[in-house]
Amino acid sequence: MTADLRTTPEPAGRRRIRLAACAVLGLILVPVLSSPSPAARAQGDAGPARFSWPLSPDPPVVRAFEAPEDPFGPGHRGVDLGTAPGASVLAAAEGVVVYAGVLAGRGVVSVDHDGGLRTTYEPLQTGVTAGDRVRRGQELGTVAAGHPECAAQACLHWGVRRGEEYLDPLPLVRTETELRLKPWEG
């Protein structure tokens, strides 16, 4: 006795429903099964935050990131975080200090991280030196008063770059997910 393996063609409406169900399942499983790179997270993809806030407790954002239209154009190449003078400035992630000193009259610390990201913190009284390896949450220095255009008692300017491109640092620490469904034409 042999089995007949031939099947009748599936109706078109049923096939569309099956394809739509597969597409929805893919939308659910892809974010769960994939782990975005730090660079992808820096552009806003959700995932567990690899970076932490550079101030504790989580500070208010006094001034948001404003991307420049071109490398030398106007913008705000980081975020200003409200705090008090003397607050501890913490490394947002593990890395190597590549600059710690005074720049344009303000204390600045820059840290290189895996994935090609560099974070910068200013103004602060530095507590580290170039070449130091730092861990996430380690104190880099303390906030200095005098950040221009700060609407709070004091502000920490926190920036991040990938190469020469300035990125919004907030997606590095926020894990909210915004799901957007696109129309399916099938």
- Coil/strand/helix, residue 30: helix
pLDDT band at 2 (very low <50, low <70, confident <90, very high): low
> Cα angle vertex 119, ends 113, 120, to 5°?
145
- Order across the sheet with 139-143: list the strands: 88-90, 139-143, 124-126
pLDDT at position 94 is 96
Do residues 160 and 42 make contact, with C-beta atoms less than 8 angstroms apart?
yes
Does residue 75 carry a pLDDT above 90?
Answer: no
Phi/psi class of residue 78: alpha, beta or left (left: φ > 0; alpha: ψ in -120 to 50)?
left
Domains of the chain: 61-173 (2.70.70.10)
Contacts of 22 (CB under 8 A, 6+ apart): none
Provide the pLDDT for residue 175: 59
User: Among 68-77, 96-105, 160-169, which stretch is predicted with the lowest mean pLDDT?
Assistant: 68-77
Please state, for a pLDDT cut of 70, what percent of the chain lies above it.
66
Comparison of pLDDT for 180 and 109, the residue scoring more: 109
Band of the pLDDT at 140, cuts 50, 70, 90? very high
pLDDT band at 23 (very low <50, low <70, confident <90, very high): very low
pLDDT at position 9 is: 56
Q: Output phi, psi for 19, to 5 deg.
A: -65, -40
Q: Which pTM does this prediction carry?
A: 0.67
The pLDDT value given to residue 125: 95
Instruction: Give the mean pLDDT of the chain.
Output: 77
